[in-house]
Each structure stands twice: as C-alpha cells, then as structure tokens.
C-alpha cells in the first residue's frame, strides 16, 4: 500500500518538474549582439543575424566574417561546419563573445542559414 502511494507521489513530482522546466526553458532567450557595447559582451552568450562576407578555412578552424552593423569574425570548429554555407547567405549565429588581439569575435555553437 505504501509503495503505491510513494510511486504516485514520485510520478506526480516528476511530471510537475518536467512541466516547470518546459515553461522556464521557453522563456530563456539569448541577448542580441550589439557591437556598440564593445567590451560589455565578453563572455556572454549572444545571438547575431547577418550576411556572410567571407569564409576562410584553416586546419580545424573556420573563420566566417559576418556583416551585422559592422563586420565581426565568427570562429567555428570544423566538426560543426555546414559545408552548404556560402558567401552572401544570411545566417543566425549563436555563441560566446571573446576578445582576440583587441577585437571581439564570436566562438560559434551553432550557425543556421536564414531564408
């Protein structure tokens, strides 16, 4: 008898927890990247929409220059590289802002072509 009650309580708590996590995750959104806020974004996860100007592949890293308000370099490691990406595509990049040699760049987690 007690085992049935404990099982029901555990199932109800699990379902309630999943519902709470679902609603919390729906409200989480990344900040849009704004180059005017130069060093405020370092270390933040951001989202950026822009046009691909140039793609450079070197060893295991791909450098993508994306034009937003001003050009910014997006660094992507080749295991995540979408070979369908080409110059002139409009993309949405999510990743972390880092500073390299005095310039901000985005270490990309995900790049998606926007149609």
CA-nearest of 48, 85, 86 to 69 is: 48
Confidence class for position 105, pLDDT limits 50, 70, 90: confident
31-113 folds as: OB fold (Dihydrolipoamide Acetyltransferase, E2P) (2.40.50)
- DSSP class of residue 29 equals -
| Per-residue model confidence (pLDDT) at position 30 | 65
Q: List the chain domain ranges.
A: 31-113
C-beta separation of 49 from 68 below 8 A: yes
CB contact set of 30 (below 8 Å; sequence gap of 6+): 45, 46, 47, 94
Query: Given a cut of 50, is residue 38 above it in pLDDT?
Result: no
Query: Cα dist. 22→17, 26, 28 in Å?
Result: 9, 6, 10
Q: Kindly state the percentage of the chain with pLDDT values over 70.
A: 84
**If you average pLDDT over every residue of the chain, what do you get?**
81
pLDDT tens-digit readout, 70-89: 788 888 877 656 567 788 88
Query: Given a cut of 50, is residue 47 above it in pLDDT?
Result: yes
């Amino acid at each position: 008898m007690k085992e049935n009650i404990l099982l029901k309580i555990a199932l109800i708590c699990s379902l309630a927890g999943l519902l709470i996590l679902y609603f919390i995750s729906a409200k989480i959104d990344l900040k849009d990247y704004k180059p005017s806020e130069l060093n405020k974004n370092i270390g933040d996860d951001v989202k950026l929409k822009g046009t691909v100007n140039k793609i450079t592949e070197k060893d295991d890293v791909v450098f993508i220059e994306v034009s937003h308000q001003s050009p910014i370099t997006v660094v992507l490691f080749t295991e995540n590289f979408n070979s369908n990406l080409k110059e002139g595509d409009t993309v949405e990049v999510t990743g972390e802002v880092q500073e390299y040699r005095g310039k901000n760049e985005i270490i990309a987690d995900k790049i998606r072509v926007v149609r």
